[in-house]
Amino acid sequence: MNRMEAIQHRRSVRSFDGTGLSPEDQQQLLAFAEQQTNPYGLPIHWRLLNAGEHGLSSPVIVGTELYIAGKMRRAPHAEEAFGYSFEQVVLFAETLGFGTTWIAGTMNRAAFERAMELSAGEVMPCVSPLGRPAKRMSLRETMMRKGVKADSRLPFEELFFDASFDKPLTEAAAGPLLAALNAVRLAPSAVNKQPWRCVCREGRVHFYEKRSKGYVSEDGWDLQKVDLGIALCHFELAARECGLKPSFELRDPALPNREQLQYVASWRVE
């Protein structure tokens, strides 16, 4: 399975079969995570955590004791950087046949943060269980997926725009960007809100955040910017697999928009 197939095949897995990962598989995943960089150059420290050993739990996860978590220093763009790097790990796990679920909320966070030895000035944005997917989903998982319409995504024309926010981009007009934009569309996001909006203009794809209420915490942490980091990751991986050469830019093109979307970053595509 290549990365594009992993993007297409991935779904959140909350029910696992209990078989666990061999020490070699665990080592391979951790080593991969530790090698990851992100366009913002912000380092992330990774740990594999055993639920029994550290008293960790998530009410939505059954059938595995193993979690992966990352922590980093708080800094501008930490959210996007974390989203980008963690998704690389999620997709790598998928290529090895392991299930994951991004978890920011449904966990005993204090216990996870203790297990990560989080210090002042650091943040542990999300964790994920790791294991082999069970043959059948738990009832709770089935209900959760229905609740957030996890199997569907917003229409292409609602997410992507042609040169300005006034003109929706159709799949037919997307040309060589079609596969990479479809990869963005498939990305996971908190509560499946899909906050990314993209304008394709003059050889660049500009990523914006459409904020929903309630995702920015009192200390300024914006969970939906993690989603944007995931979208940036999907775009780059898919574009590279199509033979394009994306390069990262942080330069707001100051495009007018009526919805007060926030500029996040751009990929220049050759």
Question: What are the angstrom distances between the C-alpha of 136 and each of 9, 21, 66, 113, 148?
Answer: 17, 19, 19, 31, 19
Identify which of 164, 148, 154 has the alpha carbon closest to the alpha carbon of residue 258: 164
- Residue number, 60 or 174, with CB nearest to ligand FMN: 60
- Residue number, 33 or 103, with CB nearest to ligand FMN: 103
Beta-carbon contacts of residue 76 (< 8 Å; ≥ 6 apart) = none
For position 190 contacting ligand FMN by CB under 6 A, the verdict is yes
Question: What are the angstrom distances between the C-alpha of 269 and each of 132, 227, 230, 243, 247?
Answer: 36, 21, 18, 10, 6
Q: Which of residues 46-105 bind ligand FMN (CB under 6 A)?
A: 60, 101-105
Identity of the residue numbered 21: L
Q: Which of residues 9-48 bind ligand FMN (CB under 6 A)?
A: 11-12
- Residue number, 60 or 244, with CB nearest to ligand FMN: 60
| In the complex, minimum distance from the CB of residue 12 to ligand FMN, in angstroms, rounded to a whole number | 4
Please identify which residue in 226, 232, 239, 265 interacts with ligand FMN, judged by CB under 6 A: 226
How many C-beta neighbours within 10 Å does residue 26 have?
Answer: 15
Q: Which of residues 227-256 bind ligand FMN (CB under 6 A)?
A: 227, 230
Distance CA 232, CA 256 (A): 21
| In the complex, minimum distance from the CB of residue 87 to ligand FMN, in angstroms, rounded to a whole number | 8
Structural contact between residues 106 and 12, judged by C-beta atoms closer than 8 angstroms: no
- Residue number, 133 or 188, with CB nearest to ligand FMN: 188
Distance CA 66, CA 151 (A): 25
Size of the site for ligand FMN (CB under 6 A): 22
- Residue number, 145 or 240, with CB nearest to ligand FMN: 145
Beta-carbon contacts of residue 116 (< 8 Å; ≥ 6 apart) = 47, 49, 69, 71, 124
| In the complex, minimum distance from the CB of residue 249 to ligand FMN, in angstroms, rounded to a whole number | 24
Please identify which residue in 28, 108, 192, 257 interacts with ligand FMN, judged by CB under 6 A: 192
Residues in contact with ligand FMN by CB under 6 A are 11-12, 60, 101-106, 126, 144, 148, 150, 188-192, 223, 226-227, 230
